[in-house]
Structure 1
Amino acid sequence: MRVVIADDAVLLREGLIRLVEENGHTVVAAVGDGPSLVAAIIEHRPDVSIVDVRMPPSHTDEGLRAAVEARKKVPGSPVLVLSQYVEVDYADDLLADRAGAMGYLLKDRVSEVAEFLDALHRVAGGGTVLDPEVVGQLLVRRRRDDPLRNLTPREREVLGLMAEGGSNTAIARKMVVTEGAVEKHVRNIFTKLDLPPDEEQHRRVLAVLTYLQS
């Protein structure tokens, strides 16, 4: 494999170079900042890039932001992120294009060289490798951001039938409840989705759009 390595810590970068090359691969570029990573990926089109999250100038999330930018310029470019912490926003952005070929591992949890190399191969092959802690935090984020999180199961069912085009009468018939019960569920849905009466927009349509987007 042809590999790009991005890490501003010289000792770690040199260690990764040695590890990669001793296992039969070629490091085509080794850089220490985000812009250089983007440029290296555009120039070399590597089989996979190993990217540290924290790089100059702020040593916060430049590596992740650079990886996201690089994948926009070179769609699907395989990236394996190594980090000491989970940066949920940019992990989400890396996953958002659904192109695969990405990994996010926490440094402290990579306990074996063979495990790391296996992850590298899987990402280069188009797979997705995520540390369990990353998965956990992404799930928490999704639950927190879900606009339907406050709906009861019954209200979700009503909203789903609304999305299928059902009127209150049709929904009541399908759920074997009274039309009044459905009307109550619909009012609750509008309240929980923060859709007050509005002469300009149809609340039922807005509720369905929210359901579809979630």
Structure 2
Amino acid sequence: MRVLIAEDDVLLRQGLVLLLEVEGFEVVGAAGDSAEFHVMFEELKPDVAVLDVRLPPGHRREGLDIAARIRAETPGFPVLVLSAHVEDGYAVELLTDSHGIGYLLKDRIGDVSEFSDALRRVAGGGVALDPEVIAHLLNTRSRNDPLENLSPREKQVLSLMAEGHDNARICGLLELSTPTVGKHIGSIFTKLGLTEEGSNRRVRAVLAYLRG
């Protein structure tokens, strides 16, 4: 899997390259700013991009703008965005197009297996959302939030769905049987009014969770 990185911190950029190579990824390039990234992206044709949310010259939301641009040109292109702080508005913005997208805090890089698993999930068309961002979203919801109808266990299941875990992984994390997790997910769909059949119900449930 060919990865292109955009990160302006030299030490972190080099660290990402080494980490990903050890984990079996092929890092085709590592840019220090958005302009350099776009040149590399056109020349190197990577399979997935890892982007710092803040890049030169403005250090504001350049990583998000890169993600929006390349996914507009190549729909569904996998992008994992990294941030130093919880900025849940960015997560919601990214997840509006919720296939092959990830948003993680940089602290998560320290858990190598978790980080590499998230990148592989994103590259495969899945979602990877930082648990701390999810917790922050949950704590700032309004009283009229429709998710208040969910049971504590259903909220746990939906939170893990938002992180990008499939049913089997949720079973393992919560130590529940496959039928029990399936029952909880079915109840979540019903309580959120997602009665139409189809794989996008899972995505719509996650978006409802994120947007509140």
Q: Pick the TM interval, shorter chain.
A: 0.5 to 0.7
Does the aligned pair in 2 maintain the 1:82–1:105 contact within 8 Å?
yes
- Residue 140 of structure 1: how far off its partner (Å): 6.8
TM-score under structure 1 normalisation? 0.59
Q: How does 1:148-187 map to 2 (within 5 A)?
A: none
Partner residue in 2 for 1:117: 116
Does the aligned pair in 1 maintain the 2:4–2:30 contact within 8 Å?
yes
Query: 1:42 and 1:16, CA in 2 relative to 1: closer, same or farther beyond 3 A?
Result: same
Rounded to whole Å, the distance in 1 between the matches of 2:123 and 2:12 is 21
Query: 1:58 and 1:103, CA in 2 relative to 1: closer, same or farther beyond 3 A?
Result: same
Does the aligned pair in 2 maintain the 1:35–1:66 contact within 8 Å?
no
- Residue 116 of structure 1: how far off its partner (Å): 0.9
Rounded to whole Å, the distance in 2 between the matches of 1:135 and 1:55 is 24
Describe the superposition over 1:36-74 as per-residue Cα deviations: whole angstroms up to 9, x where unpaired: 334433443322111111211122221222222221122
Partner residue in 2 for 1:134: 133
**What amino acid does structure 2 have at the position aligned with 1:120?**
L
Rounded to whole Å, the distance in 2 between the matches of 1:110 and 1:19 is 9
Partner residue in 2 for 1:53: 53
Query: 1:133 and 1:74, CA in 2 relative to 1: closer, same or farther beyond 3 A?
Result: same
Does the aligned pair in 2 maintain the 1:61–1:87 contact within 8 Å?
no
SS at match of 1:8: coil
Rounded to whole Å, the distance in 2 between the matches of 1:120 and 1:138 is 22
Partner residue in 1 for 2:18: 18
State the identity as a percent. Answer: 53
Does the aligned pair in 2 maintain the 1:92–1:138 contact within 8 Å?
no
Does the aligned pair in 2 maintain the 1:81–1:103 contact within 8 Å?
yes
Unaligned runs of 5+ in 2: 150-211
Partner residue in 2 for 1:44: 44
SS at match of 2:134: helix
The structure having more radius of gyration, on CA atoms, is: 1
Partner residue in 2 for 1:157: none
Does the aligned pair in 2 maintain the 1:7–1:51 contact within 8 Å?
yes
SS at match of 2:30: strand
Query: 1:133 and 1:50, CA in 2 relative to 1: closer, same or farther beyond 3 A?
Result: same
Does the aligned pair in 2 maintain the 1:68–1:90 contact within 8 Å?
no
Partner residue in 2 for 1:163: none
Unaligned runs of 5+ in 1: 154-213
Number of matched pairs: 148
Rounded to whole Å, the distance in 1 between the matches of 2:88 and 2:37 is 21
Rounded to whole Å, the distance in 2 between the matches of 1:38 and 1:74 is 13
